[in-house]
Structure 1
Amino acid sequence: MRLPVSGLLILALVLAGCGRIRESRLNPFNWFGRSQATAVVASESAVPGRPGDPRVLVADVTDMEVARQPGGAIVRATGLPPTQGWWDAALVAENNGEPVDGVLTYRFVVDQPHGGARISTPQSREVTAAAWLSDVKLANVSQIVVLGAANSRSSRR
């Protein structure tokens, strides 16, 4: 079947317009990229707003990624405490989980080990925490930041 010239022209224009999707928020490959590290001076190591919570900021945030999932995304961060035995890791959202100027911030907290702890290798000390974000929550987010005691990692769209 042969298309008339006008049909071919319309088809060419439609296909050329698809190139703009690359810059759109609808493109799943245009979501959050690789995280970048930033040095930070934490104002306090305890988790604010939770006075009974003994957890403190992890010493160093070594990795962070935002993995696209059906219906939202999973923010996963890896941290390195100073010794082995740290536990109860969590990403605690600041500002009740609401983005401020498009930036959603999490504090990476861990609980101290009970008893003596060895230093050992970095791989044996790593802790991981994750948080789920729905597509609705992500609609107003352009950057996600995970804070540690010595640094932070961020990923932007």
Structure 2
Amino acid sequence: MLRMILALALMTSLAACSTRLNPFNWFGNDREERVRVSETVTENPRDRRFLVSEVVAFAIDPTAQGVILRAIGRPQTQGHWEADLVEVAREDGALVYEFRVFPPPSPAPAGTPQSREVITGLELSNFALRGIRTITVVGAENRRTISRR
């Protein structure tokens, strides 16, 4: 009984501490950097989506098999659709995604900032994360980065 209590106490202290052994602490909070990004050509020339104007939020949620990346972007107007995080670079422990969306088929009003928000996400396995220290999501006016602790 004493061993079970000690094991339980050790597990809860590990979950509560901020060590690198705790998988929930592998990635920290995001930080924003304001930049002006020129449009880049994606690997697929038929992909005619544009960079979202601003990446509002970026979060990483751990799962048993890896992580889920969630990003919220804000285009200039309402009606943008089919949002995706498109991988553009994977080198030196850094993974970079562009937040791309299709523009509305016809001119649309600007509306409120919240009404323009577009949400997208993707899942990365632990195998795909091997060696990755930072993940960045790029928009036209800013980029958000989350680093491994």
Q: Same fold (TM over 0.5)?
A: yes
8 Å Cα contact 1:87/1:127 also seen in 2: yes
Are positions 1:78 and 2:72 aligned together?
Answer: yes
| Structure number having the greater helix percentage | 1
**Displacement, 1:41?**
2.5
**Displacement, 1:54?**
1.2
SS at match of 2:135: strand
CA 1:35–1:22: 2 relative to 1, 3 Å: closer
Cα distance in 2 for partners of 1:110, 1:29 equals 30
**Stretches of structure 1 lacking an aligned partner (at least 5 in a row):** 1-10
8 Å Cα contact 2:71/2:121 also seen in 1: yes
**Displacement, 1:136?**
1.0
SS at match of 2:115: helix
Cα distance in 2 for partners of 1:66, 1:22 equals 16
* 1:36 alignment counterpart: 31
Cα distance in 2 for partners of 1:47, 1:126 equals 24
**Stretches of structure 2 lacking an aligned partner (at least 5 in a row):** 1-5
Match of residue 23, structure 1, among 9, 19, 40: 19
* 1:87 alignment counterpart: 81
8 Å Cα contact 2:24/2:62 also seen in 1: no
Give the length in aligned residue pairs. Answer: 136
CA 1:131–1:47: 2 relative to 1, 3 Å: farther
The alignment's C-alpha RMSD in Å is 1.9
- Compare 82-91 and 114-123 and name the one that shifted more: 114-123
